[in-house]
Amino acid sequence: MIVLGLTGGIGMGKSTVAKMFATHGIPCFNADDAVHQLQAPGGRAIPALASAFPGTVRNGVLDRGRLRALVLGDNAAMRRLEAIMHPLVYQEETKFRTAAFRAHRRAVLLDIPLLFEAGAYRRVHRVITVSCPRDVQIARVLKRGLPLGQIESIIARQTPDAEKRRRADHIIPTGLSKFEAIRAICRIVEELRT
């Protein structure tokens, strides 16, 4: 089974690209979705988050905005959060990969924004980076309702786009037109068939 690692900074279009791969029959594990499930009420991460970050969990519900505000400017707090979340997300990824292997899937896609930062690139056969101009990236994230200062902090913590592109086996441009992204995906899917 070929394991593709999909990465790119916040707002680069990873989710859209992952859906495009799914239309070609390549199932996708989404690390961000796993994080949301783990942090949802009753999620496996809630007890550890409540203990590590007092005041962020009330009545079993995580205040994601409060947690984000606590960790974005504090490297030690970010490391504590990552020490809680990364192993849990990896467990979910392992379940996904095992199920795909048992289903005899030819390829799977791991949508992991922190592919390089978390060392997950070591678990994939090919790295695909989604990339667009910074102004497009910021405009997309502003539409999600995050303040510009938080967006800049998130981008600053991520591996720079140029570095991700340099380390990638494939680059999918998402800032020009949807056609360019579709064409790049079709080339990758065709390579997988040979």
* CATH code for position 22: 3.40.50.300
Cα distance between residue 100 and residue 95, in whole Å: 9
Q: How confident is the model at residue 79 (pLDDT cuts 50, 70, 90)?
A: very high
Cα distance between residue 38 and residue 44, in whole Å: 5
Residue 194, pLDDT > 80, answer no
35 belongs to a structural domain: no
User: Which residue among 81, 104, 127 closes a domain?
Assistant: 104
Tokens of 98: 């095992």
Q: What is the mean pLDDT of residues 104-123?
A: 92
Position 193 scores a pLDDT of 82
The total domain count for the chain is 2
User: Which residue among 60, 78, 104 closes a domain?
Assistant: 104
Q: What is the pTM of this model?
A: 0.88
Residue 117, pLDDT > 90, answer no
Q: How confident is the model at residue 7 (pLDDT cuts 50, 70, 90)?
A: very high
134 belongs to a structural domain: yes
Position 156 scores a pLDDT of 86
How far, CA to CA in Å, does 26 sit from each of 1, 3, 108? Answer: 11, 10, 5
Q: What is the mean pLDDT of residues 137-166?
A: 90
185 belongs to a structural domain: yes
Cα distance between residue 169 and residue 188, in whole Å: 10
User: Which residue among 56, 72, 104 closes a domain?
Assistant: 104
Reported as a single tens digit per residue, the pLDDT across 21-76 is 999 999 999 999 999 999 999 999 999 999 999 999 999 999 998 998 889 878 89
Q: CA nearest 181: which of 69, 23, 71?
A: 23
The answer on 5 and 72 residing in a single domain is no
